[in-house]
Amino acid sequence: MGYYNEHYPPNPHRKRRNSWLPLFLGVVIGVLVMAIAVPRVKEMGTAINSDVTNQKSAEEQLVSLDISTRITEVVEVVSPTVVGITNLQHRGDFFEQQQESEAGTGSGVIYKKDSRYAYVVTNHHVIEGADDIEVLLNDDTVLEAELLGNDLFSDLAVLRIDGEKVDRTIEMGSTESLKVGEPVIAIGNPLGHMFSGSVTQGIVSGLQRTIPQDYNLDGRADWQAEVIQTDAAINPGNSGGALINMDAQLIGINSMKINEEAVEGIGFSIPIDTARPIIDELEKTGQVRRPYLGVEIYSLDEIPRLEWAETLNLPNDVNGGVYVWSIEERSPAALAGLDRLDVITHLDGKEIMNMIDLRKILYQEKEIGDEIEITYYRDGERKNTTLVLDVQR
């Protein structure tokens, strides 16, 4: 018994199926699908990319808008507290008649107000030598100002004006958490009152910068001012104006800039954390009470090296210090036994190379009433003494 088709010849009338037809139809259908789908996919991709681009553009525009809006808000809050300062001085004409003339202008900041007065902080150099001082408010009101006190070393001064016309005071900030790169705004009166209330924007370029100050114009530094560096434009007339953070808080009193042709965008501001205790003291007492020794001193580097050995008899291992030129009677230095031409090299074990080093320790690290150890040389012999710091009377 065999299978159904075994040994039978094929049927000549049976139709054979075409094996190429399904393949052909598959190719055709595939081409049609690709022709329809690919443009659609591209269109969808373009739409998605367009949406992403538009979203990024919208976000960038929103960020830019937020920053610009914040600046305008800060300026609106702070501008009424920034004032113009006019330094008026009496001058005699040909017939010796006294006339009052404008000796200079600057800026100031209203930081406090009580029931009668408003208080303005500005720079010492803005009001230096003034016989009268005027304050120009944001609404162009001019008020006479009373000088409560000023300080050379901090370059700060405090004025008092009638508080009736003053509606707003600035909020004090802090420089403790200030960071390099943080955005700041400077407001003041560059080039006089014609440009009063000018606003410039920048960043904090540096912290704890030290700038040498030559007060007596003898070509030698008398002090090192610690300042904030900023690239916000600070020009003549901006002195005493406000350096503001983005919270509309006062973080510095604009003081100076490097005014050289090859230098651009380097301005300096007195940190508010340094200024605040001095402002309070000037307001209350009219002066800054600092410890003093009662001596007239000069840096060793102001005299030839030959004098170090021949006149002062200093050993070769002494590389710096200050020498005593004169001593006030009954001063701390006199009571401690110091004498003319003594050379001070250390205070409480800290090396003194010049007057700046000595002043920095006395003014920033010591208080009135502190006992301090002084190391000095007299006729080549190293000596030590102690004294109690007093206040200049």
Q: In this model, does residue 295 exceed pLDDT 70?
A: yes
Q: What would the DSSP string read from start to end of 59-77? A: HHHHHHHHHHHHHHHHHHH
User: Rounded distance, CA 82 to CA 342, Å?
Assistant: 49
Q: What percent of the chain has pLDDT over 70?
A: 76
CATH superfamily assigned to domain 174-272: Trypsin-like serine proteases (2.40.10.10)
Q: What is the pLDDT of residue 93?
A: 62
Residues 56-97 have pLDDT tens digits of 555 555 555 455 678 889 999 999 999 999 999 987 665 555
User: Mean pLDDT over residues 356-369, rounded?
Assistant: 87
User: Rounded distance, CA 274 to CA 268, Å?
Assistant: 14
Do residues 237 and 219 touch, judged by C-beta distance below 8 A?
Answer: no
User: Mean pLDDT over residues 99-125, rounded?
Assistant: 89
Identify the architecture of domain 291-391 in CATH: Roll (2.30)
Q: Token digits for 103? A: 């000796």
CB atoms within 10 A of CB 119: 23
At residue 45, the 3 state secondary structure works out as helix
Would you please indicate which residues are annotated as catalytic (active-site) residues? 125, 155, 239
Which positions ≥6 away from 176 have C-beta within 8 Å?
A: 273
Specify the amino acid at residue 393: R
Higher pLDDT residue, 91 or 110?
A: 110
Which of 173, 170, 203, 206 shows the shortest CA–CA distance to 185?
Answer: 203
Domains in the chain: boundaries: 174-272, 291-391
- Three-class secondary structure assignment of 137-170: CCCCCEEEEEEEEEECCCCEEEEEEEHHHCCCCC
The span from the first CA to the last CA of the chain, in angstroms, equals: 142
Which positions ≥6 away from 276 have C-beta within 8 Å?
A: 172
Average pLDDT of every residue of the chain: 81
* pLDDT band, residue 264 (cuts 50/70/90): low
User: Rounded distance, CA 387 to CA 374, Å?
Assistant: 8
* pLDDT band, residue 31 (cuts 50/70/90): low
308-316 long-range contacts, CB within 8 A, separation 24+:
311/341, 312/341, 312/343, 312/377, 313/377, 313/379, 313/380, 314/343, 314/377, 314/380, 315/377, 315/380
Q: What is the pLDDT of residue 389?
A: 92
